Chains A and B, each alone.
Chain A
């Protein structure tokens, strides 16, 4: 485990929060096994073995036979860092509980199904770099106006405007705080571009948000 992680205690991620992705999958989500579109934010944890830092090499995953997996993908999100205990807060008060902002990278196996918790895909050691630092909340007036860019080896591969999130930062904080009390230093990755970006061994991945910084990691295995 990385000892100098920026995460305290909990990193909760929101999947399927890109309106365009939800629209594209609308017919799939009306069929089995989903049967109807999600009515609540779709949440998953990146547990503590996944936490990593800016600049770290990300291990290329192995399959169950010990061979390198054929494909990996990356998503990046604004990371909302909780500043004080957050329990059952309203949407209006939610942003008052934010201490700062950072960037969360989510390296994983390609997302194929959302039906069951994706332990195999999402819980890989060191697969959640967070950084490069935590920018104080006062410096970001409107978190929902930010956009998240992913560059691979210097070439832009993905841009996600947070204005296109199904649920806003404040709405997510409010909803999640009614499931679980959030503590200072816990981080919510509020939304990823629906289209995850394929990565290859040795790739340099830069996730950036204007005013928050650039999180740089390199894939191992090359």
Chain B
């Protein structure tokens, strides 16, 4: 089963999506609308977002792309819910920068509270998987708590969704093709099998430090194939059997409007 949050017909709804794409609300109402309809506004799929953990340089080929040695323990940073936006929404490119790139990532959504979780039990704590685009602005990198919040924790720079797929429906999250297109052209083509630290490892690692809670998210890093994105570009991040996440880039002025 897939689960999402949408605005439809002026109502904010929690929905389940069946294998035949039938949409049913949490009230049991079947919606007469197709999944790809523009009448649906997609919200970030986690209703009450908790702590959002993201991994840096977690694919060996991406590490070499960035001229880094693969890490010996996970490099983890935190993004806040202010970054979240949904499928077919916009992300902005700040003025006067040279390099902003997408990062297509598998996301594990925590469904159960736990501390000191063992790797072999870890998937019991995962409610499901989704896709995110963990944008970064390389111009703003500094060597303090790198990647710093100015690079990563900006408004709109974490599109996620459109839906969460139940953990039970994904027998092996470490064998999924991962692709990104920019304006229809494939720019990233990898597999979650090349992840250095997989979801169970990261859950064990984090839960030795701290309690994980429902609504926490773990964004697992991106493989080789990042390119600069400009206002007007349409970026689609896809992970096989999970979902495809579409984002349109806008300028800082278009994004903030009157607040610009």
Contacts and interface: CB of A to CB of B under 8 A. Distances in A.
A103 interface: no
A117 B151 CA distance: 13
Nearest to A1: B213
B139 to A, nearest CB: 12
Contacts of A64: 208
B210 A49 contact: yes
A43 B148 contact: yes
B206 A119 contact: yes
B144 A180 contact: no
Given A124-B209, A180-B153, A45 B78 contact: yes
A25 to B, nearest CB: 11
A142 interface: no
Given A38-B144, A119-B76, A179-B154, A10 B50 contact: no
Interface residues on B, range: 35 or more
A38 B142 contact: yes
Nearest to B149: A43
Nearest to B256: A88
A40 interface: yes
Given A15-B145, A42-B144, A87-B259, A47 B51 contact: yes
Interface in A148-203: 179-181, 183
B148 A180 contact: no
Contact of B78 (A15, A39, A47, A120): A47
A34 B208 CA distance: 28
A180 B154 CA distance: 5
A49 B142 contact: no
SS class, residues of chain A in contact with chain B: loop
A116 B73 CA distance: 12
A125 B210 contact: yes
Contacts of A16: 144
A88 to B, nearest CB: 6
B38 to A, nearest CB: 27
B211 A125 contact: yes
Nearest to A182: B82
A124 B144 CA distance: 20
A169 B111 CA distance: 38
A118 B209 contact: no
Interface of B: 50-51, 53, 75-78, 80-83, 115-116, 140, 142-150, 153-155, 206, 208-213, 256, 259-260
19 contacts: A12-B149, A15-B144, A35-B143, A38-B144, A40-B142, A42-B144, A45-B80, A49-B210, A66-B116, A87-B256, A115-B146, A116-B145, A117-B75, A117-B146, A118-B145, A119-B76, A119-B206, A125-B211, A180-B80
Given A45-B80, A47-B210, 16 more contacts: A1-B213, A12-B149, A33-B143, A38-B142, A39-B142, A40-B140, A40-B142, A42-B144, A43-B150, A45-B153, A49-B212, A62-B208, A116-B146, A119-B76, A124-B210, A183-B82
